[in-house]
Structure 1
Amino acid sequence: MSEPEEELQEEQRESTKKKKKKKKKKMRKEKRSGRKKEEEEEEEEKREEEEQVEEEEEQSECVVLRGIFKLGKKSHDVLLTRTRLTWTPIMPETPTGEASTLEPGVLLLQDVLAVKVKRRRAAGQESGGAVLGVALFCCRRRGRRLEEDTLHLHNASAEHTHTWYNTLKELLTGFRSRPKYLKVFINPSSHKKEAVHIYREHVAPLFKMADIRTDITVTERKGHALSVMKECKLDEYDGVVCVGGDGSVAELCHALVLRAQLDADSPEKPVQPVLPLGIIPAGSTDVVSCSVHGVRDPVTAALHIVLGHQQQVDMCSFSSLGQLVRFGFSAMFGFGGRSLARAEKKRWMPSSRRREYALVKTLARLRPEDCQLSFLPVKKSNSVMFGHRDQDQDSDSGEPYEAESWTTNEGLYLSISIMSIPCLTTHAPQGLAPNTSVANGTASLIAVGNTSRSEFIKHLKRYSSSSGQFNFSFVEAHAVSAVKVRPRSLIGCSEEEEDEEEDESNNEGDSKITPIIQSEGAAFPWNIDGELVEITNEVLIRVHPRLITLYGEEVDEAEMPMSCSCI
């Protein structure tokens, strides 16, 4: 190859290298500019979102209507925005020319459940009449209770009144979570058989005032609500309401999840129901209602439903040998299961006496269960399970839980409780499981080992006080995502023979108690949400975070703490 040709090739190689370098530089510039564009676009989107939020806030606080109304005997300047109603007395100037200043009254529209036109009517007159103004039916908070209240705005002008009435009605329809059509189940056998009366006297008037239509089913037997829920057209309703005790609530929650699985064609995996459930307490303990309302008050529960207060709540699935037993919130094995089994045999007694009898009788014949307890613990950074819930580490913070490996213990247990909600009651104002909340994705496992009767009673009595029920060497408390309980049946005497040993056991003093000798193949009593369920084999409990939506709002403590009369 000649020298000119070599020089030409060398020049071509260099030019190719330069082109590649230029191309790379260009690509890097394009990448940098692309990143800048993406960052600029993201910043622009953020600015637009912030501006939109500010604009919405400004619009919500913009005055929609302004007028003069009388509240009582005084005239007031009334302002209406999209979120609130404020009224200020119109006061004359003082002799010095200074206007007196008074704090305006405020009513948030989120607390208004209905608005009506006030009219003057003669006796027996059902329609028409002179316009007097508008009445706003609202709720006022008194502690954990919600109480019905009314704000009367008087103005004799029909045109003025109807303008305000129509505007208020339009603003109230903007609360999308408020129901318009409800499916209601009433258990007439709950507790003192007052469920029908409670609904008619305290709940139905509020639903009627808020223009809520209802489809009512009065249950006739156990499982009636479940069978109705499997067949009815749920897409017609905005929610489901249960008027009854914990057993009725558990049945409807179970039915809602099963129906959601059926509609989603998902037989294996639990599916979150579309409809929320409202609970009107009419039972003896109303644990679930207390946990989402803080009080056993039907008016408070009804107002939560009317105003559309909703929260998602954790649930558990209970299964044995791969077969689903039911969905629920809590389960007790050992003392809790056996006391309920004894109470069920005395159904002819009044409910309060039946519970006390069963509790005292089970304490007198207290025996531990020999079983294998396995659990899948979870931990949250910088948190401790023992003691009360840490308000700074609430489940809503979104902090993830870390799953650990299975832990297995074998031994004698007087009581094993698994609860996915705090289980607040008047006897345990901070809950049977104060370490958990209604939606933190875990359950509280409380395992009480074998100990003397007197020590066990001390443990029970501390539930009625502020704390200390876990400060015993024989009590364990864990945050868990799953639990397995496998009773170890021993061939020996039957329960009838156990009853014959009562006198002998009472003479044993405070020494640790010998285990129950279970006959082979016998079923063990479980207390699942206040319902007696007898299961022969191992039980697997799994926590399903925020599986169901209930009307209400989470509270930390139940109202009116009471001491248990039987301990």
Structure 2
Amino acid sequence: MMSVSDVQVFDPVLLNTFLIRKKRCRVYFHRGTLIWESEGASYTRHRLPLSDVMAVHYVHSPDQTHCCPAADQDGNNVDDKPVSELTAAAPPRHTGFTLHYAARSAKNKWKHETVTMNHTDPRQVASWVKTIRNCLSGLQKRPKRLLLFVNPYGGKKKGLQIYEKQVKPLFVLAGIETNVIITQRQNHARDTLLNCSFDSIDGVACIGGDGTFAEVFNGLVLRTARDCGVDHNDPDAILPKPFFRVGVIPGGSTDTMAYCFNGTTDIQTAVLYIILGDSTGLDLCSVHSNATLLQYFSSVISYGYLGDVVRDSEKFRWMGPKRYEYSGFKKFMANNGYEGEVTLLADSCSPSSGPKCMENCARCQSHAENEQNKTAQSHGELKTFRGKFFMVSGANVSCACTRSPNGISPFCHLGDGCVDVLIIKHTHLLNNLKLLLRLSSKEKNVFDLPFVEVHRAREFTFRALPAPVSNPEFPSRRLIPGVSVWNCDGEVQWESNIRIRVHCQLLQVFTRRSQESSEETSCGVCSF
């Protein structure tokens, strides 16, 4: 996970013998890697990259007669003294040090672990601690000061509890300063980012669901465009990238984006990724109607069934996350269909096959290298589809979550400059049931259903068409044209006729991505 520039910082070489869990171990530190080997018959060897280390702390002697105060008689911190002056400043006080690090667990989770190394010479302990701390401070990608938004109302309304018990302790441990803002209303985070000062932060994070994350990146993109003099209402504008990276800590109902980033909705994993500072590029999609920007979205925009569900669920917010199941059942039984026209600029890559977007994704890396080539991104085949649809969806990511392990489009990529357009024709209830069962399946997807079409596109437009009169024998009983709304990252957009355009890797998000060997524990550090 370390870049070349990070590796060049680690010039020192350290070698010594420490006591680790009552076993003598030879410990090496070179080129940003800690290695310790046990002595004796039961040989074990452990490797810990410094890129996985969060912090290092001294261990003090429990014997008070051998401890010294934190400062010498001149008021200087003993920890900051040169090793040669340590014993002259005060009696021995350091008996070892503890490394706090992130260890890979099963199912894409990472955990906070510790290892303590003890030594009889406090000068050796101080030398190791200072060297490791100096190397950690040289990791420029790690955030030092974060603006953190906490949504106390999202999901199960545990945002504040998540912050106090699971987020704050780890940030304090890693030495990250946080400016915490508790959101009080819809668009609070977006409005704050449009007007606040960025002088004292180097990253933005949020505790909440997909809606809270959407507020954050909408505020950042709009603020950056305004500061750079770019008209965000121009659907063809080249948007400047926000300077700050963004982290999302799960605290919502489905946490789709956190799942797509990390392969899990585990809170500690998301916090550790922010601390360690690795990031990847995320496509964002702009939604325009009548030359006016409606919103940017990161996960999915959907017309028809899912639009009806989010519109209906607004009346039942008191039910919490259960409101989506209730409204979903109602709209499923109603089986409404909507006339419309979809026109898309198709990409040559098939969305129904290929490797999934995971750690070190070759497709996303290729687009990151070529994103400056705007001409290459504008080519494609125009395709138009007309009909009566049960649902039309544009998936910017796979939209996988705990309820839908494969998501709407399993082979969709985070940063390839494309959106997967799913066109689901209106049909009978049995087919709709097959569709929903496929969406919740771990093995199957919806692509082989005869009433489903999927296309990978760089942009697309949708136009609602008037519904025909169903009963011509009674001309006075004219039907109101059937029009749905758009579910845009869980929020209602009322304009039916829209244009969607993908902005390749517009946002950098804190994550190390999903790993393919998710069932194995391969952190490189094991316990004795």
TM range (shorter): 0.7 to 0.9
Paired residues of 1:388 and 1:434 also in contact (CA < 8 A): no
Change in 2 beyond 3 A, CA 1:452/1:423:
same
Higher RCO (Cα < 8 Å, 6 or more apart): 2
Q: Which sections of structure 2, spanning at least 5 residues, go unmatched?
A: 71-91, 371-375, 471-477, 520-528
- In structure 2, how many angstroms separate the alpha carbons of the residues matched to 1:280 and 1:390? 23
Paired residues of 1:482 and 1:540 also in contact (CA < 8 A): yes
Q: Does 1:534 align with 2:504?
A: no
Paired residues of 1:430 and 1:558 also in contact (CA < 8 A): no
- In structure 2, how many angstroms separate the alpha carbons of the residues matched to 1:203 and 1:197? 9
1:467 maps to which of 444, 448, 463: 444
After superposition, residues 31-42 of structure 1 pair within 5 angstroms as: none
- In structure 1, how many angstroms separate the alpha carbons of the residues matched to 2:165 and 2:155? 17
RMSD between superposed Cα atoms in Å: 2.7
Paired residues of 1:246 and 1:288 also in contact (CA < 8 A): yes
The residue that corresponds to 2:176 in the other structure is 212
- 3-state DSSP of counterpart to 2:147: strand
- In structure 1, how many angstroms separate the alpha carbons of the residues matched to 2:515 and 2:37? 36
Tell me the amino acid that sits aligned with residue 412 of structure 2: T
Q: Does 1:106 align with 2:47?
A: yes
Q: Does 1:519 align with 2:444?
A: no
2:228 maps to which of 256, 261, 264: 264
The residue that corresponds to 2:319 in the other structure is 349
- In structure 1, how many angstroms separate the alpha carbons of the residues matched to 2:455 and 2:37? 54
1:462-508, Cα deviation, whole Å (9 max, x unpaired): 12222231111110000001111111134879xxxxxxxxxxxxxxx
2:34 maps to which of 80, 85, 97: 85
Tell me how far 1:558 sits from its aligned partner.
Answer: 12
Tell me how far 1:342 sits from its aligned partner.
Answer: 1.2
Tell me how far 1:523 sits from its aligned partner.
Answer: 6.8
- In structure 1, how many angstroms separate the alpha carbons of the residues matched to 2:515 and 2:390? 27
The residue that corresponds to 2:364 in the other structure is 395
Provide the TM-score with structure 2 as the length reference.
0.83
Q: Does 1:284 align with 2:232?
A: no
The residue that corresponds to 1:20 in the other structure is none
1:86-115, Cα deviation, whole Å (9 max, x unpaired): 112233xxxxxxxx5834221111110101
Paired residues of 2:13 and 2:30 also in contact (CA < 8 A): yes
- In structure 2, how many angstroms separate the alpha carbons of the residues matched to 1:294 and 1:108? 22
Change in 2 beyond 3 A, CA 1:388/1:333:
farther
Larger proportion of helix: 1
Tell me how far 1:126 sits from its aligned partner.
Answer: 12
Change in 2 beyond 3 A, CA 1:210/1:127:
farther
The residue that corresponds to 2:302 in the other structure is 332
Tell me how far 1:350 sits from its aligned partner.
Answer: 3.1
Paired residues of 2:283 and 2:505 also in contact (CA < 8 A): yes
- In structure 1, how many angstroms separate the alpha carbons of the residues matched to 2:338 and 2:258? 31
Q: Does 1:385 align with 2:351?
A: yes
Corresponding residue pairs, total: 468
Tell me how far 1:174 sits from its aligned partner.
Answer: 1.7
- In structure 2, how many angstroms separate the alpha carbons of the residues matched to 1:379 and 1:162? 58
- 3-state DSSP of counterpart to 2:192: helix
Change in 2 beyond 3 A, CA 1:127/1:230:
farther
Paired residues of 2:143 and 2:202 also in contact (CA < 8 A): yes
Tell me the amino acid that sits aligned with residue 113 of structure 1: M
Tell me how far 1:389 sits from its aligned partner.
Answer: 3.5
1:457 maps to which of 393, 415, 433: 433
Change in 2 beyond 3 A, CA 1:56/1:426:
closer
Tell me how far 1:320 sits from its aligned partner.
Answer: 0.5
The residue that corresponds to 2:460 in the other structure is 483
Q: Does 1:250 align with 2:206?
A: no
The residue that corresponds to 2:162 in the other structure is 198
- 3-state DSSP of counterpart to 2:143: coil
The residue that corresponds to 2:80 in the other structure is none
Q: Does 1:130 align with 2:93?
A: yes
- 3-state DSSP of counterpart to 1:458: helix
Change in 2 beyond 3 A, CA 1:164/1:276:
same
- In structure 1, how many angstroms separate the alpha carbons of the residues matched to 2:458 and 2:68? 59
1:375 maps to which of 320, 323, 344: 344
1:371-418, Cα deviation, whole Å (9 max, x unpaired): 1111110113xxx32245367963324587683232112110000110
Tell me how far 1:339 sits from its aligned partner.
Answer: 1.0
The residue that corresponds to 2:510 in the other structure is 551
- In structure 1, how many angstroms separate the alpha carbons of the residues matched to 2:377 and 2:518? 31
The residue that corresponds to 1:70 in the other structure is 19
- 3-state DSSP of counterpart to 1:315: strand
